[in-house]
A and B are shown apart, each in its own frame.
Chain A
Amino acid sequence: MAILVNKDSRVVCQGITGRNGAFHSLACRDYGTNMVAGVTPGKEGQTVEGIPVFNSVSKAVRETGADVSIIFIPAGYAREPILEAVDAGIRVIVCITEGIPPLDTASALYTVRQEGRYLIGPNTPGIISPPEKCKVGIMPGYIHTPGNVGVISRSGTLTYEVVDQLTKNGVGQSTCLGLGGDPVVGLSFIDVLKMFKDDPETDLVVLIGEIGGSAEEQAAEFIRTEFNKPVAAYIAGRLAPPGKRMGHAGAIVDGGTGTADGKIKALTDAGVKVVENLTQIGSVVKTMLK
């Protein structure tokens, strides 16, 4: 039934009357998502091409049964919307916003975890399940195709590059999820791997990692000891100089830790097929599936 989101998911967009919120809510709906509501305080009664706008997430949930939320609220104000979604009973919160102060994310995440909900992101392109025709994010839907490969990535456009290759190689996707480019994010590689482990529709997982932190190394240990499905990976940032933030707030080699080479080694030692040339991922995965 896919992980986290599926054809029955009812999605509310927080920030729907902003330019990005409106554009992407409609794009998700065009893809097949049940975009049931939007929230902008003070604008209840308006609609965005038929999608009703409410003053609060709890009202939206009461009126429409929304259980997934996508957040397009500017970085300086994004912490409370996450809390609001949790309080309203939302199960899966996708926070697209880039630039949120990490202490704000940490604060909101503490509550998300305490309440047993899921935060995807922040600074994520979102999540998409092609077989379920459900997109909760900003990724281009047309490059995806239904299939049995799960994709977990810390990137945006790099994920699209990989997904495009998979599709062009006749390999479809079950669920593709962006963890987010920030140093502190909700779901981790391990969290999603656990879900893919129990997902009968996913037969192989592609991990797309990058420098910074130790999420890939921790994932490697989990894969080595508890994950039986085949895994392919690509790690970006071998050329990144130490101490420099490479675009993503979380992409930084800090005091020797978080290097691409370290992650590649950990994953390889765990039995993961780490692809060196980005342009070969599609064909490598195709071969692995045979």
Chain B
Amino acid sequence: MFRDTTYQDFSRERAIDQAAELVMDEESFRAFYDRTARGIWAYLVRVTGDRTLAEDLLQEAFYRFLRAGAAYESESHRRNSLYRIASNLAVDARRRSLVRAASVAGDEIEHVAGGQDAAATERSTDVTRALAQMKPRERAMLWLAYAEGASHREIADTLGLAPGSLKPLLFRARRKLAGLLGRRQA
């Protein structure tokens, strides 16, 4: 009886260990995290407009990435998957009304105001305000294209868009942001 119970406990523990397995070992994960965490955080800050939420989503994104059980072919494949997870989390958070849309600009501008020289602060505030007037999907598209240098295919894949529809969407979003930035600088 005692031996049976011990064996059952042991096999249950082993099953839990197997089910709890992560897709990377700790060393590889830490190296990957160091290369990508700041970029993902910046992306989430710009898409959600909320730094605290961005930090929560960052940890959730890495957790889901580790638990995805996918076989990644390359660094860029891993990176794209991570951005896709982060994008989906940002969309879910917005659906759950965790993002206070009305205060997007306000929160960010408060953060921007501290640190750096006056010109850099003003420039950053302009970008923050201009982005706050755009739709979350437009912000995500522009950030991936012009801050992360992602290809059209990667952006479409990350945001779940049809590759053919990306070019006109990106064109319109870019024109809108350029207009908003131009108006602020004028």
Does A associate with B in a complex? Answer: no
